[in-house]
């Protein structure tokens, strides 16, 4: 009976992680579909709950492909070459941004507006 509860705990724990990770990294079920709840985190969650032995390994493969595609698509540049002039950092993801940016170019969140004192 203990093995049943152990397996149940593993399935529920990994399903919760898949749901969180798929939403955080916007990993969809297919590379042809844009990320959305119906093709992303919710679909992975339901799939893992119903057929964990198939969906959990499939998620790990899809995640590694998606992350590799994203890192290959992002050019490797130095901070000084990417942005000339004054810069600031996104407080959410750490992206280097121009000082006058209102939104982060990586995560899309609004940046904190700081006022500069007049001289």
CA distance linking residue 97 with residue 94, whole number of Å: 9
Distance linking the first and last C-alpha atoms of the chain: 74
Are 35 and 22 contacting, i.e. CB atoms less than 8 angstroms apart?
no
pLDDT per residue as tens digits for the range 51-89: 999 999 999 999 999 888 888 776 655 544 455 678 888
Q: How much of the chain exceeds pLDDT 70, in percent?
A: 82
CA distance linking residue 54 with residue 48, whole number of Å: 8
């Amino acid at each position: 009976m203990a093995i049943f509860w152990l397996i149940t705990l593993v399935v529920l724990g990994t399903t919760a992680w898949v749901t969180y990770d798929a939403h955080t990294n916007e990993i969809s079920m297919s590379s042809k579909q844009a990320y959305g709840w119906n093709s992303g985190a919710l679909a992975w969650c339901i799939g893992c709950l119903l057929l964990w032995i198939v969906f959990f390994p499939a998620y790990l493969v899809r995640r590694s492909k998606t992350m590799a595609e994203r890192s290959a698509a992002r050019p490797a540049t130095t901070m000084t070459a990417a942005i000339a002039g004054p810069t600031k950092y996104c407080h959410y993801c750490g992206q280097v941004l121009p000082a006058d940016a209102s939104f982060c170019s990586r995560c899309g969140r609004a940046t904190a507006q700081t006022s500069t004192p007049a001289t």
